[in-house]
Structure 1
Amino acid sequence: MWWRWCWLCLKMIYKLFCCTISLVFFCFNVLWFFCNLAIPWCTLTLVAICVASKFVKLQRSPNEKRLLSLLNTPDDWPNYWPIANRGAGYDAPENSQAAVKKCLARGYRNVLLDAGITACGEIVIANRLTLERAGLTGNLSHHTLHELQQLSITEQHPMGSQYDRESVSTLKQLADFLEEQNMPPTLFLHLQDTSALMIDQLQKFMAANETFTQRTVVISRSPLAIYQLRKLRPEIICGLWHESYLSLSILKSSTLITSIYGAILRNIIAPVIGISVVFLNKEEFNLHIGDLWRNVGVRPIVYMVNSPNEKRYFQKTMKTQYLTDSLRSEPHLLMKA
């Protein structure tokens, strides 16, 4: 009897072997067929990704009109171009209420501020540089709110003596401060932390503060963080902070790879996560790149632009808004001087 079982096992192994060989030959024939048709595998992969992205992409921000109203040209044309990085951190203590107040007093309404999260789960307006200047180590997430509010962010600034002592603000304190202003600014909130806790706390805060949400554009380096945030709150306007191509070694080796990477970023990632603005390095920006982003419905903004000549170039030739550390070097102010 045992020999019959052995015979059945051998037959099963033989059939399995034959099926495996058939599958290998089938795959080989398919590969040979596509190669003879000269269809690059990378093209097939991109087509598959494009098809898949149609099923997972988020709706473009329904607040396009609100975005245009936030960034639209005001009556005072020169003040439209600059976005004050960290509240124009060269002119006043960065990420401070005093810096925002100075921007508004000058007539500039576009302000970018950094946001991080503490060890106790509180969103604060600060970055790692603030800690380093105060002699603290590690990220904001390594310190509690009580520790951070013991610091004076004005003392470490070169022009800090001109301002009253100010501690690190929470997001709630910033929102209350902006609400008190006669003409609240358009706030670009740059997330320095993209953890799940940060996304959860931010979406809860913005859900409970509609007025703040209406005037805020959330900026992040992480497409995944933007996707998660907009999936929870589609009404939030978001932007992508794009690092320099030169920072990625693989992109230095080939113009083709750089082009493919840019196409994926613009035509797949941007529609999937539903961004409205993108921050690009000034050294890698030109009219063609600007048009490519505008064609997919995304407004390009360049960083960092501090020279008066560069500012004039982006105003007159590129017609693109820019991020700057100082508002004292605006061309129209120097021309008046």
Structure 2
Amino acid sequence: MSYWRWLWLALKMIYQLLCCSVSLIFFCFNVFWLFCNLAIPWCTLTLVVVCVASKFVKLQRSPNEKRLLSLLSTPEDRPSYWPIANRAAGYDAPENSKAAIKKCLARGYRNVLLDAGLTSCGEIVVANPKRLNVPQQPLTELQKLNIMDQHPMGSQYEAETVATLRQLSDFLDAEDATQATFFLRLHDNSPRMLDQLQKFMADNETFTQRTVVISRSPLAIYQLRKLQPEIICGLWHETYLSLSILKSSTLITSVYGAIFRNIIAPVIGISVVFLNKEEFNLHIADLWRNVGVRPIVYMVNSPNEKRYFQKTMKIQYLTDSLRSEPHLLVKA
């Protein structure tokens, strides 16, 4: 008797499980139907509205095309054109230092990227905020430090303190670096930083003429160019799709990239974009060039990678060392 009872209970459980499975399938189907009929049309409509609205709020990409071309065009000396010295080639000399800048210029390299941070007293300094903890210190404390101590080869150089943006400008005037292009990467995108930078660049036209301001915040670039439209700006592009399942989806990554290229870039009016070398290819380069933005890749340090980006990709790259440039190794 108990055998039939247990068999009946088992059949009853299987029947209930089957009913629940069917109910779950119908529920998922109804949710999918609702999404297709309501969510997708509304998302499409929202995207269309955003695209139309972006045409009315966008900023002019470059108010002076000749100046932009003079900063980013290809000079006759192509070997020194490809690399952009990150933090003034921070592997070869103390990063963000005047000595490192002077070394780059003496070698004939005209493209230099420097870090910019804001001290607790509101002064813009040329330094890596993460290494020197710039936001928590006043200028007086920072200038007590010898930045040469932060580098393995620092003992080969004279002692040097953190430079303010004004001191950097005076130094460049003294070095007569009129042919050099400086990329100023902002690590602080606060309104206070943007206001200080705008005021400084408005009063220093010579410095503005040879500088491209780089930020990872599209909003910061938009606010800065609204205050000072003459400033040429670039976007430091980082992938915010941290989940691997999102990165593996071609549709999601394509939509994500299209939003940056076709909506954000025209609205904020950027001229250059820095892209991770791991996510870069010729197709991505063409897509950015089609919207009038020049792509640059980071970080490229090995000689073989540099040859690849020079000869195959034909694109500029950000590097920590200028000693590994292919044409120098060939000469050696």
- TM-score band by shorter chain is 0.7 to 0.9
Question: What are the Cα deviations for residues 76-120 of structure 1, in whole angstroms up to 9, with x where unaligned?
Answer: 110000000000000000000000000000000100000000011
How do 1:268-279 residues align onto structure 2 when only pairs under 5 Å count?
268-279=263-274
Give deviations 1:216-260, integer Å, cap 9, x for gaps. Answer: 000000000000000001110000000135646573252211110
Contact 1:245/1:251 (CA < 8 Å) preserved in 2?
no
Q: Are 1:336 and 2:331 counterparts?
A: yes
Moved more, 157-166 or 245-254: 245-254
Q: Cα deviation per residue 1:154-204 (whole Å; 9 max; x = unaligned)?
A: 012011011000000000000000111133321100001000100000000
Runs of 4+ deviating beyond 6 Å: none
Percent same amino acid at aligned positions? 81
Q: Which moved more, 1:155-164 or 1:320-329?
A: 155-164
CA–CA distance in structure 2, aligned partners of residues 41 and 315 of structure 1: 45
In the alignment, the residues of structure 1 paired with residue 325 and residue 273 of structure 2 have an alpha-carbon distance, to the nearest angstrom, of 22
Give SS of 1:62's match. coil
Any idea what SS the aligned residue of 2:148 has? coil
Q: How many residue pairs are counted as aligned between the two chains?
A: 298
User: Which residue is equivalent to 2:229?
Assistant: 234
Partner deviation per Cα, 1:263-288 (whole Å, 9 max, x = no partner): 00000000000000000000000000
Q: Equivalences for 1:113-124 in 2 at 5 Å?
A: 113-124=114-125
Q: CA RMSD in A?
A: 1.9
Task: State the match for 1:321 in structure 2.
Answer: 316
1:267 aligns with 2:262: yes
List aligned pairs for 1:89-238, cutoff 5 A: 89-131=90-132, 139-184=133-178, 185-238=180-233
Distance 1:283 1:253, change over 3 A: closer
Structure 2: which 5+ runs fail to align? 1-32
The DSSP-based 3-state class of the residue aligned with 2:71 is helix
Which of 296, 300, 307 is the matching residue for 2:295? 300
Give the conservation status (yes or no) of the 8 Å contact 1:277–1:298.
yes
Q: Distance in 2 between matches of 1:183 and 1:211?
A: 11
Cα distance in 1 for residues equivalent to 2:285 and 2:175: 34
2:62 and 2:68 in contact (8 A); partners too: no
The alignment's TM-score, normalised by the length of structure 2, stands at: 0.86
1:39 Cα offset (Å): 6.8
Does the C-alpha gap of structure 1 residues 196 and 249 become closer, same or farther in structure 2, counting only changes over 3 Å? farther
Structure 1 residue 43: deviation in Å?
2.3
Rate the CA distance shift 1:109–1:192 in 2: closer, same or farther, 3 A. same
Name structure 1 gaps, 5 residues minimum.
1-30, 132-138
Match for residue 134 of structure 1? none
Structure 1 residue 327: deviation in Å? 0.1
**3-state SS, counterpart of residue 301 of structure 2:** coil
- State the TM-score, normalizing by the size of structure 1: 0.85
